[in-house]
Amino acid sequence: MFKIVDAKTAAEKINDGDTLAIGGAGAGHAVPDTLLRALGERFKTTGHPKKITSVHPCGVGDNDQRGLNHIALEGLIDTDFGGFWGNAPKMVQLARENKIKGYNFPQGILSHLMRASASKKPGVISKVGLNTFVDPRIEGGKINQVTKKDHVQVMAIDDEEYLFYKSFKIDVAFIRGTSIDSEGNITMEEEVGSFAMFSIAQAAKTNGGIVIAQVKNVVDGNCDPGRVKIPGFLVDYVVVEPNQEMTFLSKFDPALVKRDAPYTPEELPLEGPKRIIMRRAALELKKGAFVNLGYGMSDGVPIIAQQENILDELTFMIEQGASAGIPTTGLNFGAMYNPSSIVDDGYQFDFFQGGGLDIAYLGFAQIDKNGNVNSSRFGNVLTGCGGFIDISQNAKKVVFTGTFAVKSTQNISEKGVEITHPGKFKKFVDAVEQITFSGRFAMEKGQEVFYVTERAVFKLTKGGLELIELAPLVDLQKDVLDMMDFEPLISKELKSIDSRIYKNEYLNLKETFS
């Protein structure tokens, strides 16, 4: 039977050198924040536990103080395996200063590694990560100089290359749910996702470890078996947090977990370059498509879909597990308004890695002459890949969206784009600093790849990047070619970007779909 304890007591259950797996994602999405805070406070007070290994398939934090930032303490963390690092700047700082060892692996791979650990399999075999910075022939997912041990290796099956990711022995699981019944069964009626909670809990138990859950409520009697997300026999200790928030930005919003609950659309104005980039990107949508969106620029695509009244013609899917709703934006990204389903993220990634997505919209920091994309690390900025690699390597069509250059200025009118300052830094470079997406691998797999900016649209070809569209009023030489470190191919049929995207009227996508 489980025991209800306070957070301080729960934190005392972790021993020096343990491997701790942490559920949840992003800015408080089912994040066991009370447990993480208690662990950090214990270390500050006692100096224990020392040198633990933390594993989190998703990013966990508020870009400031919460989530993993609670435990980003020198001496507490020895090694961190993360799918996304950008939510935890304090952990990033430790890695940059070589005070911890760190790895960045694809989110889907880490979720599947939780399953592998639960079943005591040696690891996960996948093509995800080949020819990217995760490939051991490039960086092996290592993020700093003190990280030496290889956790990924190349192997061949029937003369085809795969990556083998080694499994973990999980000692402690930090998970979260909404309610726990008299038998310890946990439900997640107020959680925007279930993530890898079940697999993390199983992994701890089968490896002889313990499961510590944070919940909001203790309910009398037994809940319906079909609602159980974490069976009670897996749970050892429970910390009740009655003030548990749904996310770091929301106490509770029923629209994030119910199909028919009313909600107020987020006030995310599409203006300036983002508006025309998103409108041009939306022209790639097709009726009936399964669509994924990345964090940042591409979160404007659902807004265009709403404006065009085509939401019922598409199925939006996010890697955190929700489908067929309206993805949230900004720091709250990773949830959906009015989803039709919420599944464990490992199952969502099965579909993504299997090629189920028709189109993925993703951002970029750098693009090079071979069509490689860097979205994970540039200069001293480490964000990590999250689900980017799982998604970008396997979607049938990938549309990368972003501004053409850093800190450029322009006048946008119904006539087109007049560039008033070409930009302070180039994004189209000779070679990206880190390969998050491999152009060559995409060509080998036959993917359709576009790069959409406010002043030009490119397509990936076997010969490299090809310029296929130019914004009206943009000067090809001065505004585009002079702001690139390489000379792209230029289509013999180079045309102007569709003039509709600049006008203050609908694109009439509904009519196009019909």
Annotated catalytic residues are: 319
The Cα 484–Cα 4 span in angstroms is 60
Q: What is the DSSP string of 166-223?
A: EP----EEEEE-SEE-TT--EE-TT-S--TTHHHHHHHHHHTT-EEEEEESEE-SS--
Give me the helices (H) in 56-206, please. Answer: 89-96, 107-118, 197-206
Phi, psi for 489 (deg, rounded to 5): -70, 145
Q: Letter for the amino acid at 129?
A: G
The Cα 302–Cα 324 span in angstroms is 11
The Cα 18–Cα 7 span in angstroms is 18
The Cα 150–Cα 164 span in angstroms is 11
Q: Are 439 and 467 in contact (CB under 8 A)?
A: no
Q: Are 118 and 206 in contact (CB under 8 A)?
A: yes
Sign of the dihedral defined by the CA atoms of residues 219, 222, 228, 233, in that order: positive
Q: Which of 385, 348, 363 is nearest to 103 (CA)?
A: 385
Q: Are 329 and 335 in contact (CB under 8 A)?
A: no
The Cα 49–Cα 39 span in angstroms is 8
Sign of the dihedral defined by the CA atoms of residues 427, 430, 436, 440, in that order: positive
Q: Which of 324, 356, 320, 366 is nearest to 133 (CA)?
A: 366
Q: Are 478 and 422 in contact (CB under 8 A)?
A: yes
Q: Is 418 left (phi over 0), alpha (psi -120 to 50) or beta?
A: beta
Q: Are 93 and 61 in contact (CB under 8 A)?
A: no
